[in-house]
A and B are shown apart, each in its own frame.
Chain A
């Protein structure tokens, strides 16, 4: 019999063996090679330095700047070198007009980042920097750095803006190569195309004192060059953009979108009131921020995709095309006689024209925008049919534009009425309201613009977008977008088109204020009642064709009044102007 090993014996031998190994390597590292490592530690400070790429710039369709990088002087603090925290905070607060609490907060959040430079103040004027430079001698923890800052050419809602990464964003994105001082796209195109614009970090190994002692570890040259961000070329035309922005009625809210009907590329994108994105890039003060978010006119709101409104009569062509497609009517069918209104049960629904339109066929009904015709037409369809067809025309659904946060809008369903009203009663009234774009239906101005553009483009709906191409490492990449076919036949389309043409170009049409000699303008007015004010929302949407261009447009003025008298003349001006500038 040989000796049976006990548990303890096994474990003891393993433990002895393991500690022998560890001891051996500690001995090797600290005693045998100790001098070598001491040299490395003292003489050569090996540090990895990240080289940050330059953010891509944004240009309009003619390569004129929209968002660029300009030099800027920034103040940094190194937490490990702070001698007297309170004094530093006081100094910075006094000289750079920043709230002392904010400064203390930054120091606190970065208290473990001893030897990293942390951004304190951005965009310091050159003069200020020169005059304070001397003071900085008393505060070894502070230093200036010359860097790049974003600069936007004009107030707008599509570029969005960049801002300093927040502590939360950094926790989430830190491992993707952002530093605690990074600027990051916060809204708009800056956010949507963040990954394209930011570029790829480079890295290099720095040897602070490289004299003589060669570092064994980094024999090979370790440097990875950064790849700068791609430049974006937009479909926007700066001239038209600025012009449209200038002709928008003063002291009114609303939006204007113009797009190329062949490509879906947006040429002008104006939402009013607007704001200057430059105020955000250099770090906005708490007061400025407060002023902007408490402004009752909501200048930050992008009304083109974040605002949802009742479409009013600009919705009518959709119902007309559903009627024709489903053969509920043909081109000659005349519906109920309009005597200024129509009874449904015990409720009287008025037409906008008190004296009435008489009996009309579909073309005239669109041209005169007769409400009674569409009340009557709506009764021939179920609510679900209306809902489905509306969404098939990409109304009350997201268009997929390349700006984040687009809203869907709303179209009620049977289920929604049951959920909200308890039962499905009075539905006729709801449906009749929806027929003229009133009631619960909500749309974004962009959806309307895309729909009318598609009508002008033989029923091919192009996804609205701002990015035309990106230029990355001197290669150009075209942005290809989706296109879809509207559920509308050739003959129906022709009829709707001719109605829109007559609306603008025949006497007594509602949109005659937009007609232009030599340019074929098609359009539809809308005056949508709403709970936001007494006046109706003024809509005018359609498209214009000539030898030079084919564009779709949507002019929307919140509580502006009648579509035909307020929005249509604006459309006329912008088309005229565009004709003048485009080659």
Chain B
């Protein structure tokens, strides 16, 4: 265990401890304390133990076994994602499989196994650019479509971040990333014809300078033209409430009774924490029950209220050290596949931390993305810890492949 990354592991444990404390202060009520084993922080503690056991189990498992199980588990995850669509709604969407005591979220597992599968497929030697693109896109698009059907826009976006991050470090010329970036920009700009024309001219100039294959250029042009025409048609075909939902996603203040209200309350909670915070268990805003999610998606606002600017800075610093340390260590991993996996994991953790804290601060749209390691939630915790387990494992074994 000489090469074991104690710093990364130590930070992980620190997060989990902070998580338990935050969940306790966010969710404990006097009455609920009478019923000990039904409390969120107790449940989270049990999940932490399970996650840790899996982490140690993972570190001891031979790589060959893991290699063999990646495709089957990916396939099972996809099947679960299909199955979950046919289950009754829980809290308004088809995200969870109800297992009695806990709800299990297959899209969480899909994230990790999509990363593993893409990395495995595109790290094979002697692949052409086309093959890499085709493999990466196919593996990503299936879960993305299924998750969009749930519907869970936030998690679906996470997959695009994963795809983007892995492709950027792959052997693929960077110009290919226009394939991911340009459609998103096209959708955004297609609502205004003049902006779209400027954007189109820039895109064409960029493609002209890019030395890309003519077929790819043709494809990009065709794809973006198609998107330009189809987006308004699609938009108009949506029902009013569907349009409203999307507009509210982009600008929560449109819905001051719903999403906007949550953001306002979150900002009040964090802002009123001031420099030093109101102290452990002393938060007043969480008691207003402005939303039932303060132990999950809005845990950062509870921390902000009770521990203030210093508390928030401390948390941000810990996350920064954690991610920075992983980013720095990745180059030590010699095997290409493992490096891709690590980058994918790092990217999605960074994305989730940014989106969640940003949402709490009211600077990014509200999505159902929890704060890694701190928010209450079993499947999410399990997958995040397992993901760190993979990175620890690769770093641990790096000498073998050096």
Contact = CB atoms under 8 A, between A and B. Distances in A.
A30 B312 contact: yes
Nearest to A38: B272
A37 B272 contact: yes
A205 B264 CA distance: 13
- Determine which residue in A45, A108, A175, A217 has the highest number of CB atoms from chain B within 10 A of its CB, and name it: A217
Nearest to A222: B256
Nearest to B326: A11
Interface stretch (B28-36, B127-135, B192-200, B234-242): B28-36
Contacts of B256: 205, 217-218, 222
B331 A8 contact: yes
A15 B324 contact: yes
Given A26-B309, A114-B287, A114-B289, A80 B31 contact: yes
Given A7-B330, A35-B274, A80 B267 contact: no
Interface size class of B (residues with CB under 8 A): 35 or more
Q: Give chain A's interface secondary structure class.
A: helix
Contact of B272 (A18, A23, A41, A82): A41
B320 A15 contact: yes
Interface residues of A, number: 51
Given A15-B320, A26-B316, A10 B169 contact: yes
A11 B351 CA distance: 12
B285 A41 contact: yes
A12 B327 contact: yes
- Determine which residue in A11, A34, A47, A82 has the highest number of CB atoms from chain B within 10 A of its CB, and name it: A11
Interface stretch (B101-109, B150-158, B353-361): B353-361
A409 B72 CA distance: 51
A579 interface: no
A115 B288 contact: yes
Nearest to A18: B354
Given A26-B304, A112-B27, A112-B32, A34 B275 contact: yes
A94 interface: no
A37 B330 contact: no
A7 B339 contact: yes
A82 B30 contact: yes
Interface in B310-345: 312-313, 316, 319-320, 323-324, 327-331, 339, 343
- Determine which residue in A15, A45, A115, A205 has the highest number of CB atoms from chain B within 10 A of its CB, and name it: A15
A26 B339 contact: no
Contact of A22 (B29, B316, B347): B316
B346 interface: yes
A380 interface: no
Interface of B: 27, 29-32, 34-35, 38, 91-92, 168-169, 256-257, 261, 264-265, 267-275, 284-285, 287-289, 292, 304, 308-309, 312-313, 316, 319-320, 323-324, 327-331, 339, 343, 346-347, 350, 353-354, 357-358, 361, 363
Interface of A: 6-8, 10-12, 14-16, 18-19, 21-23, 25-27, 29-31, 33-38, 40-42, 45-48, 79-80, 82, 85, 107-108, 111-116, 175, 203, 205, 217-218, 222
